[in-house]
């Protein structure tokens, strides 16, 4: 069974066709990357998989559950980090993690929170209000929220968006470490270097279509490019 | 239902830690009303004190029996009376000056109504001025009655025959109530009946704004998408938010009512309404409970309506203005319910009026005083029906992607206009 199975997925926003029948699958334990420029359809794909949007046609399954028909079951085994996300400014980081963990497991939430605090690396600042956090601290908190329950699938939309090099490196290390604990990760990025570093498999997406899939080195070799960025440009330009 | 409590706790914490909410919704009514009440009460007491300390010049140009009687009467009233000549009127140190004209006594006795001039000297116009101006006037009015009584007694006539020849006992038969009510009691009822709908109006508008903000803030803070992917039923999110806004609104109302009661109590020397509040406290407990149930259901309905409105709001400001747009129709409904005789309205208008859940709060106080329990039961049933309809609509919206895509569509339309 695939962790994620997407087949002929189409999504319309009114008359605009955002996804034009994409197909890919993610194996359990993978760190899978969706790469593409802004507006390519990465976030729409991830939002459909996170049960936020309904597919116009096609199939999207997570561990065999249909994201449309079995949305409640899907939500129990995934966690989602949107590209643009914030926290509740009047709650402390600790309260935020506790609230989220309780919704997954009201009995054993404490151990998840402890793990979340460890992942976030916020130390004692975890007891401060989120309103006092920097952008980087909020992103680390949100990532900790997404990963602390060790979901079967973590969907991370641009996990290092808007972060400086140091913070981005910390977040990449967190993702790598969590993936070792049987968590399948599906992430999107337009940062080719990041994807090359993190992912064992990727799909290149452009204008709502998958233009290539495989391991980063397979894709680079397929077009005789020297790096992923160059490969992407060649594939997009045909 | 899993998640309701967590959402509820989150909403309450978020709101009560927000200084803007605390200041404007809790502290403002709690401080501003008692301060106003204190000001009214203080100004009246201060006026009395100023008069007791101030100088009352009496310029007696008549030196007759009645003019002496007036001077003595003023002294007995506790005023600091100084008898003086007309030149002293140029001195501005006095508070009140009373000029007794020549022929005062004679004119009274022959019925030619002499003019007793009084001058009040105030520094500036303030609340206290009302008290200072009204007190000498009422003392002189009292003297009129006193002097009249003295004349009547001298002529062996009981003053009551002239001034209070009979007593009045007015009873008002209210057809809708089906009973007679003493006129003073009715005035108190009317006073209270028409105050409470406006207090509730403020509460309903505030709960509408709070519940719309509860959802629009999720959009503005970009927390909504995470919330919608949590492993809890979407109904739990709705219920948590509705209960959260109800708790917040109830606390705001409590602060409002405490502030209002303190306003009345602290200004009690100025108001004659305190007796009315004592009457309210004698209302049977079960009537208060039934009225509270109706109000709570109306608040829940308002909170669900707010969530429905918030779907269309892109940010907090838009949510607040959308909620605010409900103020005018609600105000008109209260005015219509308070002013119009509903029994004389066409049947269809009456049905429409009673199909609106907020109609029941307008006369709830009146029906509570009448122990009319069927009114509350019927009102509660209507409100529950509306609540179910609203919850159904809101849960449908929450389970669809409209909650997230609505903004996209609006944006696209606007862009289309530009092009």
Q: Which residue of A has its CA nearest to B407?
A: A13
pLDDT band at B364 (very low <50, low <70, confident <90, very high): confident
Contacts of B249 (CB under 8 A, 6+ apart): B203, B206, B207, B210, B299, B302, B303
Measured between CB atoms, which of A78, A84, A90 is closest to B18? A90
- Considering chain B, what percentage of its residues have pLDDT values greater than 70? 89
Answer yes or no: is pLDDT of B409 > 70. no
Q: Which residue of B has its CA nearest to A14?
A: B409
Q: Tell the CATH superfamily of the B54-163 domain.
A: abc type-2 transporter like domain (3.40.1710.10)
Answer yes or no: is pLDDT of B192 > 70. no
Answer yes or no: is pLDDT of A237 > 80. no
Residue B30: φ, ψ to 5°: -70, -25
Q: What is the pLDDT of residues A55-92, one digit of tens each?
A: 999 999 999 999 999 999 999 999 999 998 999 999 99
Answer yes or no: is pLDDT of B413 > 80. no
Contacts of B26 (CB under 8 A, 6+ apart): B251, B252, B255
Please return the burial class of B295, using the count of CB atoms within 10 Å of its CB with bins 0-12, 13-18 and 19+.
buried
Measured between CB atoms, which of A53, A99, A129 is closest to B6? A99
State whether A78 and B229 contact (CB < 8 Å): yes
User: Which stretches of B221-273 are DSSP H helices?
Assistant: 224-228, 234-266
The Cα-based distances of A93 to A98, A100, A153, B10, B365 in angstroms read 9, 11, 23, 12, 46
State whether A54 and B401 contact (CB < 8 Å): yes
pLDDT band at B187 (very low <50, low <70, confident <90, very high): low
State whether B221 and A86 contact (CB < 8 Å): yes
Residue B236 C-alpha, separation from nearest chain A C-alpha, in angstroms: 11
State whether A87 and B409 contact (CB < 8 Å): no
State whether B17 and A79 contact (CB < 8 Å): no
State whether A75 and B229 contact (CB < 8 Å): yes
- Considering chain A, what percentage of its residues have pLDDT values greater than 70? 100
Beta strands in chain A, from DSSP E residues, in sequence order: 4-13, 16-26, 31-35, 57-62, 65-66, 78-81, 153-157, 184-189, 201-206, 209-214
State whether A88 and B223 contact (CB < 8 Å): yes
pLDDT at B274: 43
Please state which of the ranges A41-55, B237-251, B252-266 shows the lowest mean pLDDT.
B252-266
Does the CB of B415 have a partner CB in chain A at under 8 Å? no
Q: What is the pLDDT of residues A112-125, one digit of tens each?
A: 999 999 989 899 99
Residue A184 contacts residue A29 (beta carbons within 8 Å):
yes
- Considering chain A, what percentage of its residues have pLDDT values greater than 90? 71
Measured between CB atoms, which of A82, A86, A88 is closest to B10? A88
Mean pLDDT of chain B: 81
Q: Between β-strands A57-62 and A65-66, what pairing exists: parallel, antiparallel or unpaired?
A: antiparallel
Q: Which residues does chain B have within 8 Å of residue A154's beta carbon, measured at their own beta carbons? A: none
Q: Which residue of B has its CA nearest to A89?
A: B14
- Between CA B410 and CA B213 the distance in angstroms is 19
pLDDT band at B416 (very low <50, low <70, confident <90, very high): very low
Residue A156 contacts residue A163 (beta carbons within 8 Å):
no
Does the CB of B396 have a partner CB in chain A at under 8 Å? no
Contacts of B399 (CB under 8 A, 6+ apart): B234
State whether A82 and B222 contact (CB < 8 Å): yes
pLDDT at B412: 45
Mutation target among A76, A79, A88 for the B interface, most CBs of B within 10 A = A88
State whether B232 and A103 contact (CB < 8 Å): yes
Does the CB of B17 have a partner CB in chain A at under 8 Å? yes
Span A112-139, mean pLDDT?
Answer: 93
State whether A90 and B17 contact (CB < 8 Å): yes
Query: Tokens at residue A174, please?
Result: 């967190």
Q: What is the pLDDT of residues B303-323, one digit of tens each?
A: 889 988 888 887 888 888 888
Please state which of the ranges A139-148, B136-145, B375-384 shows the lowest mean pLDDT.
B136-145
Using an 8 Å CB-CB cutoff, list residues of chain A that contact chain B. 13-14, 16, 47, 50-54, 72, 75-76, 78-82, 84-91, 95, 99-100, 102-104, 106, 129, 142, 145
- Considering chain B, what percentage of its residues have pLDDT values greater than 90? 16
Q: Which residue of A has its CA nearest to B413?
A: A14
Residue A162 contacts residue A86 (beta carbons within 8 Å):
no
Please state which of the ranges A143-152, A201-210, B57-66, B209-218 shows the lowest mean pLDDT.
B209-218
Query: Tokens at residue B282, please?
Result: 């004698």
pLDDT band at B270 (very low <50, low <70, confident <90, very high): low
pLDDT at B272: 47
Mutation target among B231, B239, B395 for the A interface, most CBs of A within 10 A = B231
Please state which of the ranges A20-34, A54-68, B64-78, B267-281 shows the lowest mean pLDDT.
B267-281
| Residue B101: DSSP 8-state | P
Domain ranges of chain B: 4-40+182-418, 54-163
Mean pLDDT of chain A: 92
Domains of chain A (ranges, CATH numbers): 24-51+78-237 (3.40.50.300)
- Neighbour count for residue A47 (Cβ, 10 Å): 22
Q: How many contacts (CB atoms, under 8 Å) link A and B?
A: 81
- Between CA B196 and CA B292 the distance in angstroms is 13
Answer yes or no: is pLDDT of B354 > 50. yes
Please state which of the ranges A47-56, B85-94, B183-192, B386-395 shows the lowest mean pLDDT.
B183-192
Q: Which residue of A has its CA nearest to B398?
A: A52
How much is the pTM?
A: 0.75
Measured between CB atoms, which of A53, A75, A145 is closest to B231? A75
pLDDT at A193: 85
Measured between CB atoms, which of A16, A81, A103 is closest to B231? A103
- Neighbour count for residue B241 (Cβ, 10 Å): 28
Nearest Cα neighbor of B39 from B273, B277, B272, B266 is: B266
- Between CA A208 and CA A74 the distance in angstroms is 24
pLDDT at B283: 62
Residue B226 C-alpha, separation from nearest chain A C-alpha, in angstroms: 7
Does the CB of B123 have a partner CB in chain A at under 8 Å? no
Answer yes or no: is pLDDT of A206 > 70. yes
pLDDT at B85: 85
User: Which chain B residues in 231-270 lie under 8 Å from chain A, judged by CB atoms?
Assistant: 231-233
Contacts of B37 (CB under 8 A, 6+ apart): B262, B263, B264, B265, B266, B267
Alpha carbon B323 to chain centroid distance? 22
Answer yes or no: is pLDDT of B278 > 70. no
pLDDT band at A29 (very low <50, low <70, confident <90, very high): very high
Span B103-126, mean pLDDT?
Answer: 87
Answer yes or no: is pLDDT of B277 > 70. no
Does the CB of B405 have a partner CB in chain A at under 8 Å? yes
pLDDT at A53: 94
Q: Which residues does chain A have within 8 Å of residue B239's beta carbon, measured at their own beta carbons? A: none
Query: Reduced to 3 states, what is the DSSP secondary structure of residue B14?
Result: helix
Q: Which residue of A has its CA nearest to B1?
A: A103
pLDDT at B314: 77
């Amino acid at each position: 069974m695939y962790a994620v199975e997407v087949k002929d997925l189409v999504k319309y926003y009114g008359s605009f066709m955002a996804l034009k029948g994409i197909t890919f699958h993610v194996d359990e334990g993978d760190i899978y990357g969706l790469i593409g420029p802004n507006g390519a359809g990465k976030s729409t794909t991830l939002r459909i998989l996170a049960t936020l949007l309904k597919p116009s046609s096609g199939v999207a399954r997570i561990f065999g559950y249909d994201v449309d028909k079995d949305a409640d079951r899907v939500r129990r085994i995934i966690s989602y980090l949107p590209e643009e996300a914030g926290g509740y400014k009047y709650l402390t980081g600790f309260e935020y993690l506790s609230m989220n963990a309780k919704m997954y497991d009201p009995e054993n939430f404490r151990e998840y929170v402890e793990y979340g605090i460890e992942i976030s690396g916020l130390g004692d600042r975890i007891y401060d209000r989120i309103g006092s956090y920097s952008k980087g601290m909020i992103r680390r908190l949100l990532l900790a929220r997404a990963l602390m329950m060790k979901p079967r699938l973590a969907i991370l939309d641009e996990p290092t968006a808007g972060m400086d090099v140091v913070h981005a490196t910390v977040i990449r290390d967190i993702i790598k470490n969590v993936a070792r604990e049987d968590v399948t990760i599906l992430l999107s990025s337009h940062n080719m270097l990041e994807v090359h570093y993190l992912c064992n498999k990727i799909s290149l997406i452009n204008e709502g279509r998958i233009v290539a899939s495989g391991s980063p080195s397979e894709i680079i070799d397929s077009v005789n490019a020297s790096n992923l960025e160059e490969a992407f440009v060649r594939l997009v330009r045909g | 239902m899993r998640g309701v409590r967590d959402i509820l706790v989150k909403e309450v914490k978020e709101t009560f830690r927000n200084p803007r909410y605390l200041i404007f919704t809790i502290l403002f009514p709690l401080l501003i009303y008692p301060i106003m009440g204190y000001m009214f009460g203080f100004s009246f007491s201060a006026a009395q004190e100023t008069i007791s300390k101030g100088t009352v010049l009496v310029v007696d140009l008549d030196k007759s029996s009645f003019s002496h009687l007036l001077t003595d009467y003023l002294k007995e009233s506790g005023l600091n009376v100084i008898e003086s000549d007309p030149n002293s009127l140029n001195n501005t140190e006095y508070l009140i000056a009373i000029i007794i004209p020549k022929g005062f006594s004679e004119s009274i006795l022959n019925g030619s109504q002499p003019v007793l001039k009084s001058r009040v000297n105030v520094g500036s116009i303030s609340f206290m001025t009302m008290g200072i101006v009204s007190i000498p006037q009422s003392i002189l009015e009292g003297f009129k009655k006193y002097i009249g009584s003295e004349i009547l007694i001298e002529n062996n006539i009981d003053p009551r025959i002239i001034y209070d020849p009979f007593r009045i006992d007015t009873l008002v038969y209210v057809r809708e109530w089906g009973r007679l009510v003493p006129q003073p009691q009715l005035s108190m009822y009317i006073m209270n009946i028409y105050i409470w709908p406006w207090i509730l109006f403020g509460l309903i508008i505030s709960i509408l704004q709070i519940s719309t903000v509860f959802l629009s803030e999720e959009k503005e803070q970009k927390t909504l998408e995470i919330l919608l992917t949590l492993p809890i039923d979407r109904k739990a999110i709705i219920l948590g938010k509705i209960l959260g806004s109800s708790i917040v609104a109830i606390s705001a109302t409590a602060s409002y009512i405490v502030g209002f009661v303190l306003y009345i109590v602290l200004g009690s020397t100025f108001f004659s309404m305190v007796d009315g509040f004592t009457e309210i406290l004698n209302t049977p407990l079960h009537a208060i409970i039934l009225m509270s149930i109706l109000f709570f259901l109306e608040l829940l309905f308002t909170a669900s309506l707010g969530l429905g409105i918030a779907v269309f709001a892109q940010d907090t400001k838009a949510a607040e203005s959308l909620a605010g747009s409900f103020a005018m129709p609600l105000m008109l409904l209260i005015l219509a319910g308070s002013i119009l005789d509903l029994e004389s309205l066409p049947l269809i208008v009456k049905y429409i009026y009673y199909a609106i859940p907020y109609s029941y709060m307008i006369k709830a106080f009146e029906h509570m005083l009448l122990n009319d329990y069927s009114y509350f039961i019927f009102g509660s049933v209507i409100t529950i029906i509306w609540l179910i309809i609203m919850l159904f609509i809101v849960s449908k919206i929450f389970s669809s992607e409209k909650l997230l895509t609505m903004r996209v569509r609006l944006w696209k339309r606007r862009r289309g206009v530009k092009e």
